[in-house]
Amino acid sequence: MNAIIYVFSGTGNTMRICSLYKEEFEKCGVETTIYPVRSDMSDLPDPESFDHVGFAYPIHAFNAPKIMLDLARKIKPVSHKDFFILKSSGEPLKINNVSSLRFVALLKKKGYVLKSEYHYVMPYNMIFRHTDREAFRMWDTAKALCPIEAREVLGGAEHKLPRVFLGRFVAWLFRIEHIAMRINGRFFNVKADKCLHCRKCEKACPVGNIHIDENGKFRFGKNCIMCTRCSFQCPTDAFRIGILNGWRVNGAYPLDAPPDESAPEPKHRHGRYCKKAYARYFSLAEKKTSAFYKENQRSN
């Protein structure tokens, strides 16, 4: 048995989720390939060569990123193929369920049938920065959930996310982000006094939108998909992301470093943001993991 996950990951959250799935799949004897999606899709692996096919992405304005829609248009048609979706976002709002509607519709025309879909909450790389304690809890929850849900995928379980009222309209409306981000990307700039000329941003851009000439001058194209990989990973925080610069988050979260529980809970001005939704997400995750391990103990 084998599996493939076609993944687009801006700053690494979705790739981390996929790595957990790959680890669990391979524990179950399923050889797994993770294919990072970039604008050049000339080497797309053939989905029919795999027993299990998945697609993974971060949610962009209640939609799949444009690069994933491009993938759905370019991928090889099949007679029938079940697939699963893994997606991540910074908040557990139900409206995020609509993000896959267009993507699934495009794949359906190619003969692909959605079997299961899972949404994981991971720390923001835009809008505002979560506290390290919040980020650690999100990652810790994903590490508990992903092995369980990976086994559900391998077992052929159906897992569909609830529909949202006017969801299709909301997704369509916010798809304007795909056009707007191409325009906004032209207004990126780099603080010359901070730039190390390491070219890390140019090499990392998944759509080749950043060009640096022999004199170190930056040029930005019209293909930006606002994954923020360039600004998030900039070692000196030199990047500015156009009109959305007020939402810029720079620097990786220490996800694998347990927070000091003896320290007081850090406060920030977004502390009440989606508070009930986060509480519900963590509560449901804890119930699912507890039920799974209790069932395993009874079986053993």
What is the per-residue pLDDT across 18-31, written as a single tens digit (0 to 9) for each? 999 999 999 999 99
Q: Is 267 helix (H, G, I), strand (E, B) or coil?
A: coil
Q: Which residue has the higher pLDDT, 112 or 260?
A: 112
Mean pLDDT of 6-14: 97
Q: What percent of the chain has pLDDT over 70?
A: 99
Q: Average pLDDT of 265-277?
A: 83
Q: How confident is the model at residue 126 (pLDDT cuts 50, 70, 90)?
A: very high
| pLDDT, position 300 | 60
Q: Which residue has the tokens 């379980």?
A: 157
Kindly report the number of other CB atoms within 10 A of residue 160's CB atom: 11
Q: Could you tell me where the DSSP H helices lie in 155-274?
A: 167-174, 176-184, 200-204, 229-232
Q: Please say if the pLDDT value at position 269 is more than 80.
A: no
**What average pLDDT does this structure show over 72-79?**
96
Looking at residue 213, what is its pLDDT? 92
Domains and CATH numbers, the chain: 2-172+279-299 (3.40.50.360), 176-247 (3.30.70.20)
Question: Mapping DSSP to helix (H, G, I), strand (E, B) and coil, where does residue 83 land?
Answer: strand
Confidence of residue 250 (pLDDT cuts 50, 70, 90): very high
> Tell me, what amino acid is at 217?
K
Query: 123 pLDDT exceeds 90?
Result: yes
C-alpha distances in Å from residue 256, one per residue of 77, 83, 117, 135, 276? 40, 30, 26, 9, 25
264 DSSP 8-state letter: P
Map tokens 């994933």 to a residue: 68
Rounded average pLDDT over 142-160: 97
Average pLDDT over residues 246-268: 84
